[in-house]
Amino acid sequence: MKIAIVGTGYVGLVSGACFAEMGVDVTCVDINSEKIEGLKQGIIPIYEPGLKNIVIRNYEADRLHFTTSLPSVLNDMEIIFIAVGTPSDEEGNANLSYVMTVANTIADHMEKPLLIVTKSTVPVGTSYQIREVIRKRLDERGLQELNFDVASNPEFLKEGAAVNDFMSPDRVVVGVENKGAEELMSKLYHPFLLNNFRVIFMDILSSEMTKYASNAMLATRISFMNDIANLCELVGADVNMVRRGMGSDSRIGRSFLYPGCGYGGSCFPKDIRAIMKVGEDVGYEMKVIKAVEEVNNSQKAILFHKFSRYFNSDIKGKTVAVWGLAFKPETDDMRDAPSLTLIESLLEAGVSVRAYDPAAMQEARKYMDSKIYYATDIYDAANEADALIVPTEWKEFRLPNWSILKKIMNNHLVIDGRNIYNKEDLASYGFEYRGIGQK
Q: Which residues bind ligand NAD (CB under 6 A)?
A: 6-12, 29-32, 35, 83-86, 98, 101-102, 120-121, 155, 157, 159, 266-267
Contacts of residues 356-359 at CB distance under 8 Å and 24 or more positions apart, as own/partner, are 356/321, 356/322, 356/323, 356/324, 356/325, 356/380, 356/381, 357/323, 357/324, 357/325, 357/326, 357/332, 357/392, 357/394, 358/394, 358/396, 359/47, 359/326, 359/330, 359/331, 359/332
Helices (H), 22-87: 33-40, 51-60, 70-74
- Minimum distance between the CB of residue 393 and ligand NAD, rounded to whole angstroms? 18
Q: In this structure, are residues 398 and 416 in contact, taking their beta carbons and an 8 Å threshold?
A: no
- Minimum distance between the CB of residue 59 and ligand NAD, rounded to whole angstroms? 17
- Minimum distance between the CB of residue 10 and ligand NAD, rounded to whole angstroms? 4
Q: Which is nearer to ligand NAD, 7 or 169 (CB)?
A: 7
Amino acid at 8: T
Residues 6+ apart with CB under 8 A from 263: 219, 222, 223, 269, 296, 327, 338
- Which H or E run contains 151? strand 149-152
Q: Which is nearer to ligand NAD, 199 or 381 (CB)?
A: 199
Question: What is the C-alpha separation between 169 and 145, in angstroms, rounded?
Answer: 37
- Minimum distance between the CB of residue 267 and ligand NAD, rounded to whole angstroms? 5
Q: Which is nearer to ligand NAD, 264 or 358 (CB)?
A: 264
CA distances from 143 to 128, 137, 148 (A): 19, 9, 11
φ, ψ of residue 116 to 5 degrees: the values are -110, 115
- Minimum distance between the CB of residue 36 and ligand NAD, rounded to whole angstroms? 9
Q: Which is nearer to ligand NAD, 7 or 435 (CB)?
A: 7
Which residue from 294, 121, 304 is spatially nearest to 220, judged by alpha carbons? 294
Question: What residue number has its CB nearest to ligand NAD?
Answer: 9
Q: Which is nearer to ligand NAD, 83 or 163 (CB)?
A: 83
Question: What is the C-alpha separation between 381 and 227, in angstroms, rounded?
Answer: 31
Quickly list DSSP for 282-306.
Answer: TT---HHHHHHHHHHHHHTTHHHHH
Question: For the chain, what is the total number of helices (H) and then of strands (E)?
Answer: 18, 14
Q: Which is nearer to ligand NAD, 207 or 308 (CB)?
A: 207
| Catalytic residue, candidates 18, 28, 261, 267 | 267
Three-state secondary-structure class, residue 423: helix
- Minimum distance between the CB of residue 273 and ligand NAD, rounded to whole angstroms? 12
- Minimum distance between the CB of residue 43 and ligand NAD, rounded to whole angstroms? 14
267 is catalytic: yes
Catalytic residue IDs: 267
